[in-house]
Every structure is written in C-alpha cells, then in structure tokens.
Structure 1
Amino acid sequence: MKIPHIGYLLLLIVLLGNTTLFSQMKPGKGLVLGEVVDTIYCTAHAGQSYALYLPKSYTPQKQWPIMYIFDPGANGAYPVRRFQKAAEAYGYILIGSNNSENGSWKNSFAAANAMFDDTWSRFSIDTGRVYTSGFSGGARVATAVAMNSGRIAGVIACGAGFPTVADYQPHADLDFAFVGIVGNLDMNFLELNQVYDKLVDWKLPAQLIEFDGRHGWPHPDTVMMAFDFLEIQAVKTGLVVADAGQVAEIRQRANVIADTYLEDGRPLDAAIFLQRMVYAWEGIADVSAEKKRRAGLLKEKKTEKMAKSRRRALVKEADLQQAYSEQFLVDFRYPDDTASTEFWKDQGEMLAKMKRSKDIERGRMANRLINQLWVRCYELGGRAQREGKHRDAARLYRTWSLVQPAAIYPFIRAAVAYLALGEKRKAIRYLERAVANGLLDPERLKISELANLKGEKKYEQLCDKLESRQKN
C-alpha cells in the first residue's frame, strides 16, 4: 500500500511558511465563538467541509494553536465536541474533517489539504503550534500528515498509532510530540504500548494515556490529559512561556489521577502512570517526589505480582496476534473449512475462558484479542463482499461466529454471504443461530440482502416467530 503525499506536503509547507498573513484574517460572518459548528464548507474545495470550534476569547489580533482532527467515519463534530473542553482551557481552534474516513488515503489527504487551505485563509493561526489528532484509522491519518509535513508540533493518536507501512513507521528522527490514548480493552493496546516504548528509548517527547474501556474516542477528561502533555512540551521547547500557576495545576491534576488508581486498589496502574508522568515532566519540574512514590509502589508485593502478570499477558498477546495473522493467511491460501473451523473454535473457547480469568491482565488481554479478531473479520468480510468474493466473506464471518459464538451479527453476515453463494440451507442455519442467540427484531431478517430467502419455509417460520415475540 502506498500513501500519497507530495501535493499535500507542498501545500502544507507553503502555508506554514507564511508567517505574516494569518494574523490579519477574520473569522468571517456567521461564525460563533465558544460553540461547535457542525459544518463549515471549504470555499475553494467543493464537497469538502469540517466541524469548527473557536475559543470564546478568539480574536484575529492574536495567533492561536490549531488542531486538525480525523474521525474514521467522517463525523467531524463528534470528536470536536470531545475535545471542546480542553480546547477552551488552552485556547485551541479545533477543526474536524467531515470527509476523511477509513478506506482511502488519497481522500483523507485531499480532506486534510482542503481543511488547511480553507482554515488558513479564515483564521489567525500560530504557525509553530499546528497539531493533528484522530481515532483508529483517523489516528493513522494524523500521524501520516505529521510525518509528511515535518511542520506539525504534536499528534494525539487515539486507538491506533502509525500507518502500517514501512515508510511510515516511527523512527528516531521524529520531529513532533506524540500522545497515544488507548483503552485497556482496545485491540490496539499492545501496538500503542510498543510505539510508546520505542519513542522513549529514542528519548523523544511522548506520552501514553490508558483508560478503562474499548476501542473508541476518549472521554473529554482523558483528552484534557493529552492537552496537558502538549502544553508541557510547548513550554519545554519554548513555544509558550511557562505559567507557574498553570504548570502547578497540571501537575496537581496528574497526581490526583495517580491517587485515584491507588484508591481503586490499582497500584500497578498508578506506578505506570507516575513513570510516564516523570518522563514527560523531567526538565521542567522537580519530579523526585513522583520518582520516590513510584519506586515505593513497585516494591510492594501486590504491585510486583501485577507487573509480572502484565508482562506475561503482553508477551502472550504478541504471540497470539502473530499466530492469528498466520492463520488468516493459511485460510485464504489453502482453504480447508474443517481445519479452519477446528482452529478458530478452539481459539474462541480458549479466549472465552481467559476472559473470565481472575487474573485482570489475562482477562484484558483476551478481550483485546477477541475485539481484534471480530474487527478484522468484519472489515475484511465487508471488503470481500463489496468485491464479490462471497466465499472469502463467508469464511471470515464464519471465523467471527466461532470467536464470538454468543453474538448475533456475525451469524447474520454469514447468512448473507452464504446466500450470495446460493447456499440457502446454510444461510438459514446461520439465521437460526442468530435467533437462538437473542435476535428479537424481525426486520433484521428482512434486509434486502436476504430477499432471496422469501418463500423458504424455515425462513418464513423464523420471521413469524420473531414477529409473534414482538407482539407479545
């Protein structure tokens, strides 16, 4: 996969190189301050638009930091609202693309191009404080934009790291600050931990913020922690003048988070948080107290046990990810439904057992692997169907049903794929499993993709059964 960049790079350099134009720009008629505007159309780029947030104190007489945000589903307003609290606190302009989405690097870079072009003609922007952010595939766009331009001050990557191509992997010469945010049940948890560890080894400005949750945009309070880090980095690099009161407030906020972990009986999470805090703050404040506190926590037997469990889980997770990737290749190159079914059935049962483990880290690991598998099956299966490769789609959805045998959706998708292959009996068997697993809405059996089952006795009986349940 090749990621286009030359045209985008040239525009961005031109824009960032002009340091005299932007302070004269006015926000334009109809733009409000302190509120999210869902749609602003790009004047020179038909069909391109973005969501906007201007701080309440915005004025064109001052230059402002700006953050461009990429949502994987092209819903710019959603992340802008998540970032609004932090943006108001620190005085950022927020721009969320309504066009960039998973699936096309060319389209995502065209969206970025349009946003840069339009916003730099409307607003007064601090050329030294341009940031990008994104979630999932949008996070990969955000890091790719930063690597292409060489003029981005920092990236907040939520739920994913860098593009999965060799030319866009992190390296020791990165010239922007990196903040990763990831849920402890997120399928990309291991990836972001590995990225963070590399950046720290290279002594680059980096932070990794973990939260309790799955693959999703982080809570506004978590976003605030990322902005805190970017502010500290801006102070370190001289982009902003240190405000002693603000620095003390950020530090206090961080220590409260460590306290909360301890109050919840999570000394390892507290120790990890303090370790990352120390790395971020060294050079700007005396962090000896945090170092001492972390060292004390790591000496506790409970913390030692948790740390060993986490290390084992992450190693096991990496091994299983590799094994699963290899099995997917085998499934496609040498299709053997019997062998594949046995493998994924065994893995599904093993992961379900791990998920119930009393070992917290082992349970989290199992959740992450299950999430990674179903997302891979969902995405690859959908792509296969769009390309008319229904046998591949059926195989992927069957794998998903074996990994999550109590779910509903994989059985519906498998039924659709098998029906496209003309295998009506198998399609109906999968629909029966969906109903047995708790499907209640009869309309989900009447989607257009299942229209060819009309008149089939067992299919009609399933529909009647759900309609009867709904009436009662």
Structure 2
Amino acid sequence: MNKKYALFFLAMVALQPLFSQQIVLKKGAILQSLPVNDSVADTFSLYLPTNFTTEKQWPLLLIFDMEGKEKQTLSMFLNSAEEEGYVLAAPKLHDSISLSNNMVKTSETLHRVLEMLPIGKSRIYAAGSGLGGRFANLVPLFVKEVKGALSIGASIANIELLSPKRPFHFIGIGHKNNYNYISMQAMKRVLDRFRFPNQLLLYPQAKDWPEPSYLTKALQYFTLQAMRKRVIPTDSSYVQKVFEADLAKINELKSLKKFLLAEQHMVEMMSIYGIYKNLDSLRNVQKELRKDRIFKGMKRGENAAMLKESLLKEDYQYYLEEDVITHNFNNLGWWNHQMAELDKFAKGINPYEKEMGNRLRGYVNALAEDNIDIVQSEALIDEDALAFLYELKTILDPQNFDFYLKIIALSAKNEDFETALFYLEEALKKGFKDTEKLYALEDTALLRIDAKFNELVSKYLKDARYQINEE
C-alpha cells in the first residue's frame, strides 16, 4: 500500500490518474472544485490534516451541505479534523435535485477519494447540519462503505429505512431550543431498540452550530467505537485522555447547575466506555445526582413543559391543515395571537417554557414550509392555499423578507394590488431595503408603475424608479 501512495505526497502532491488535467493536493488547506471524474462536471472539496502521511490509513468524514456552501460547512470541522486526524471531503450537492441523484454524487465522490488516498474503509462517516444532517443520516443506508452519521440539529429522516441487519453508528448534536430536539430524543429510543450504537450530545447555547469541542467529541466517539469493534488497535492512553475530558465536562456542567445536561452526558458515557472502564464510580455519581432535590425539580419542570408542548403541537398541526384546505385567511389573527403567546414563553422566567417556546416557533415554521412544498408539488397549484401560507409565514418569521416578496408577486399576478401594497409596506416598515430584488419580482410589471407603489418606495427607500404623477 505504501508504494501505491508514496508518489502522492511530500509536502504537496501532483496527481494525474484518469484525468487529462493535473491535480495538486496540499496538506492543511481546503482544496475546492476537485473533479470527481473526467466526464462529469461534479466536484468536491477536500481537506488533509497537516500531519497527513501515506504511511497509514486515515478515517474519512464526508460533509454535506445542501445549499452549495460545502466549503463553509467543511471549514467548521477543520480544528476537530486536525485534533483527531480525519480527512474531510465535501461533495457539491443541491437540495433542488433528487435524493437519488445526490446519493449517486456522494458515492462517486467517495470512490474517487478512496482511489486517491489511503482511507480506512471501515472508518468512513457522514456529517451535516440541518438539511445536510438529514441527508447525512441517510447516507449509511444507501452507501455501504459509510459506517456512521454525525447529525447537527437533525433527526433521521425516515425510520422505516432502518434495519437491524445494517446498523451504523449515529451521533446527534443539538440543543434544547431546537424544535428537532424532541424528535432526536425519540430517535435515540428507536436506535436503542434496534441496538444501533448511538449518542446524543447536547450543548447549552441556543446556536445553530455547537462549540468545536462537541464536534471533536463526536469524532472521538467514532474512534472509540472503531477500537471497540477492533477495526483499529485499542489505545489505552487515548481512551484515558478522552474519558478524563468527559469527566471534566460533567464537572463543568454540574458547577454551572446544568444538572440535566450533566446527567444526559453521563448516560452517553455509559454507552461508549462500558467496554473500556469500570464505571461503578460514575454510576454512583449519576445515582446521587438523580436523588438531588434540585435535579428532581428540574426534571419535573422539563417534563411538564414537554407535555404542554405535545398538546400545542397537536393543535397547531390540526388548525394549519384545516386553514390550508379551507383558505381560512380569517384565522391569521389567531396565528398571530399564538406567536405572541410563544414569545411570552420564550421571554419568560421559566427556563423549560423558554425552551418550549423556541422549539414550538421552530416547529410551526417548519410545518408551514412543509405545507408550502406540498402545495407547490401538486400538478395544479392551489394559489389561494399558497397565498395563505405565504401570509402565515410573514407572521411566523417576520424578518424573513422572502415571503413578503412571494405574497407581493402572487397578489400582483392576480391583480390584487391592495394586498400586494399592504405586504410591501409591512416589509419596508420592518427594514427591507433590497430595491434590486423588489424591482426584479415576476408578475409585478403593472404594480411597479402604480403611483401608490412608488410612493411607498420613495417614502421608505428614496429610490423609486418611476415618476409619480401628481394631479
């Protein structure tokens, strides 16, 4: 094997198999737009750790972003890849093409990397955040070489595809303000029942991306599982180092009075270290924590909030389905009231209801967007249903101006200029300033020459393109 790869690297490598052009691979830098093959325009990004050598096999983390931002997403893993010795590769994918086409691109990229680099074939994993995480969770089900998935803020998309005959290692990373948290907890129970190795790492900050230490921890757990399955030799000093870091994390969480997160982390430690360590002392710490009066109060508070959340979810799902079917624009006031109630939860003093309020707002937004996708996928689009959903989204996510523009364009198309002007002014009041995007809207030619339209643009932006005739 060493002879096969020896010509590839000194400090950088010129590589030319199967290609008419020469590819230069450099360690410690993100390499973009590498061709998957000669005949197809598909590309991928690649990162090799600075200590990369051809003298050994390396684990590979395939990283997915469905919005064409694979370099930015890959860059979030750089520090962890350096610390844990992982090669990173990110195929260029798009959510606009089919799942099967994206999966083919993934498989082709993987096999290209395997041709190029000394990758340990039992240590290949998928990773992503949000939509990229949902896709990454499916990759082990369709690409047999992939042995695990790291998902940030996303659960497994379809549990019906899971099979005990084809297990993979699942690691979820999330926080309790994310609406996917409840589904990730439910997914963990399913994976436990199927006996899939799995961990759920929770971070306290309500941010889309966790601190780099959580990404590093996930890669460490992949490595520990590889040792457990004897894919690589067990390194007792490495196990001890990672174990001590986990103990330090528990002590940190306890010192910050984040007892629920500390107990959750202990549960995950039990699942990963049982084969390596005598965990009696850790179990004793867990038992004492569960008996603690403050911990019990926290658990009760969280459970009460989750029960309330489940009931509200049922209401939201029922009323949204009814409103879309009946085009019930009169119920937009009710939705506005519900969002005000969720804001009260999110800004209140009860920490569990604050988390619940944030999760429910995310849930309703996702529910509305799912319904938009369903309506738009129909052969004959119900424009009244679409208009209701666009108007609803301006209530659910008032700073997302895309939906103001969508309802303006749809209303103008149907010559409902009063509605179009109302939502134009609402967007302008809330800070919309992109005149180029405004004047490029489809189906708004008649609207744009309307005097009221130009008065509004002049009032808020001082940039009307058409003369306002004064009588």
- Report the TM range for the smaller structure's normalisation: 0.7 to 0.9
The percent identity for this pair of structures is 20
AA aligned to 1:36 is I
Q: CA deviation at 1:44?
A: 4.0
Larger CA deviation: 315-324 vs 188-197: 315-324
Q: Deviations over 1:46-67 (max 9, x none)?
A: 1211110112232334222112
Native 8 Å contact 1:52 1:95 kept in 2: yes
Could you tell me how far apart the structure 2 residues matched to 1:46 and 1:440 are?
40
Native 8 Å contact 2:107 2:143 kept in 1: no
Could you tell me how far apart the structure 1 residues matched to 2:319 and 2:163 are?
30
Partner of 2:418: 425
Q: Compared with structure 1, are the counterparts of its residues 385 and 417 closer, same or farther at alpha carbon in structure 2 (3 Å cutoff)?
A: farther
Q: 2:33 aligns with which of 29, 39, 52?
A: 39
- Which SS does the other structure have where 1:310 is aligned? helix
Partner of 1:400: 393
Partner of 1:371: 362
- Are 1:353 and 2:347 matched, yes or no? no
- Are 1:208 and 2:176 matched, yes or no? no
Q: Deviations over 1:425-460 (max 9, x none)?
A: 011111222233344555564443454422323321
Q: Compared with structure 1, are the counterparts of its residues 381 and 333 closer, same or farther at alpha carbon in structure 2 (3 Å cutoff)?
A: closer
- Which SS does the other structure have where 2:120 is aligned? strand
Partner of 1:290: 282
Q: 1:162 aligns with which of 145, 150, 156?
A: 156
AA aligned to 2:44 is Y
AA aligned to 2:288 is G
- Are 1:411 and 2:408 matched, yes or no? no
- Are 1:311 and 2:303 matched, yes or no? yes
Could you tell me how far apart the structure 2 residues matched to 1:369 and 1:462 are?
34
- Which SS does the other structure have where 2:45 is aligned? strand
Structure 1 unaligned runs (5+)?
A: 1-18
For residues 318-333 of structure 1, what are the structure 2 equivalents within 5 Å? 318-333=310-325
Q: CA deviation at 1:350?
A: 2.3
**Structural RMSD (CA):** 2.9
Could you tell me how far apart the structure 1 residues matched to 2:333 and 2:432 are?
26
Q: CA deviation at 1:346?
A: 3.5
- Are 1:81 and 2:75 matched, yes or no? yes
- Which SS does the other structure have where 1:52 is aligned? strand
Partner of 1:246: 238
Q: CA deviation at 1:370?
A: 0.9
AA aligned to 1:255 is L
Partner of 1:178: 170
Q: Compared with structure 1, are the counterparts of its residues 414 and 238 closer, same or farther at alpha carbon in structure 2 (3 Å cutoff)?
A: same
AA aligned to 1:261 is L
Native 8 Å contact 1:22 1:121 kept in 2: no
Native 8 Å contact 2:62 2:89 kept in 1: yes
Could you tell me how far apart the structure 2 residues matched to 1:94 and 1:212 are?
27
Larger CA deviation: 217-226 vs 87-96: 217-226
Native 8 Å contact 2:63 2:128 kept in 1: yes
Larger CA deviation: 288-297 vs 64-73: 288-297
Native 8 Å contact 2:149 2:169 kept in 1: yes
Q: CA deviation at 1:376?
A: 4.0
- Which SS does the other structure have where 1:31 is aligned? strand
Could you tell me how far apart the structure 1 residues matched to 2:93 and 2:178 are?
25
Structure 2 unaligned runs (5+)?
A: 16-22, 465-471
Q: 1:436 aligns with which of 429, 442, 446?
A: 429
- Which SS does the other structure have where 2:452 is aligned? helix
Q: Compared with structure 1, are the counterparts of its residues 73 and 240 closer, same or farther at alpha carbon in structure 2 (3 Å cutoff)?
A: same
For residues 10-89 of structure 1, what are the structure 2 equivalents within 5 Å? 26=8, 28=15, 29-89=23-83
Q: 2:219 aligns with which of 206, 212, 227?
A: 227
Could you tell me how far apart the structure 2 residues matched to 1:265 and 1:416 are?
51
Q: CA deviation at 1:271?
A: 1.6
AA aligned to 2:329 is D
Normalising by structure 2, report the TM-score: 0.86
Native 8 Å contact 1:181 1:210 kept in 2: yes
Structure 1: 4+ residue segments shifted above 6 A: 19-25
Native 8 Å contact 2:324 2:389 kept in 1: no
